[in-house]
Amino acid sequence: MINPKVTFNCPMKWETMKVGLISRHCENCQRDVQDFTLMAKDEVIQFLLAHRNSKVCGRIKKSQLDYKYNEMLVVINAYIEKNKNSNFAFYLLTIGTLMLTSCSYDDHRLTKLDSAIHLTKETSATKIDVKCSNDTLGIEDIILGDIMIDYRSDSTQQSDGIRIFAEVMPEFVGGIGALMKYINESIKYPDFEKNNKIEGRVFVSFTIDIDGSIINPKIVRSVRESKNFDIEVLRVISSMPKWIPGKEQGEPVAVQFTLPIMFKL
């Protein structure tokens, strides 16, 4: 599960803190405290993702911690669009894909998320076409404390030493846009699926080794009616050029990556 959470409840009073331009200052712990109460939920998620490696102390409404997956995906898509050539984009793509693969295999639910993070011939970018819900109006509980996006409950390192997240994520040379372009140009729609009008999303997992090589590609989720989608996806992933490897404390590390590839006529 990936969600915003308060990791420490602060006993200090908001009203006693020194007022600043964009925050208040807590003399007790000598830290700036962000006021999230006037932000929309997507703005809160955006701020926390952007400051994922920092301790964020804030004042927040309980309703702002209650969100739906599509609300997180909206923010992830917007950030990927703005940061296509950055390492941050690969971190965000990993989070988005983890969220999609954590859904149970429910056709109705996947259909609702069908516009999220997918590749088609018509676009070289990830796409999301949903909107965040409005925050609850009226009087409600407000919490003060350390706030973060909790994604590390899904272990960041597996028993074989391969990571899900790294301080510096692995990158396809040229960024997200170049990755999407490579996949779109390389994928061939199989004849059987084309003739039978079969569409759907295939999730493929692979490891970027310490030298950037692609190893151990495997299908995480298939399209039920398809005979050839999995084979085609594995062919394209296995043929990918080397990536820039991920790093932890300055040293290259092996990182597992998962991509959703959408076949759409």
Average pLDDT along the chain, 265 residues, taken 10 residues at a time: 71 87 85 88 80 83 76 74 80 79 50 40 38 46 82 55 89 92 94 95 95 96 94 97 95 94 91
pLDDT of amino acid 140: 62
176-263: CATH number: 3.30.2420.10
CA distance 117 to 100: 9
CA distance 239 to 41: 40
Are 70 and 130 a contacting pair, CB within 8 Å?
yes
pLDDT of amino acid 156: 57
Helices assigned H by DSSP within the chain: 41-50, 69-82, 87-101, 107-112, 176-186, 191-195, 229-238
Q: Are strands 200-208 and 214-221 parallel, antiparallel or unpaired?
A: antiparallel
- For the chain, what are the domain ranges? 3-67+132-150, 176-263
pLDDT of amino acid 5: 74
Phi, psi of 102 (to 5 degrees): -80, -15
| Residue located via tokens 């009203």 | 15
Strand, helix or coil for residue 215: strand
pLDDT of amino acid 2: 59
For residue 259, the Cα-to-chain-centroid distance in whole angstroms is 11
Q: What are 77's two structure tokens?
A: 């898509």
pLDDT of amino acid 40: 83
CA distance 96 to 241: 23
Q: What are 163's two structure tokens?
A: 């990571």
Strand, helix or coil for residue 37: coil
Residues in the chain: 265
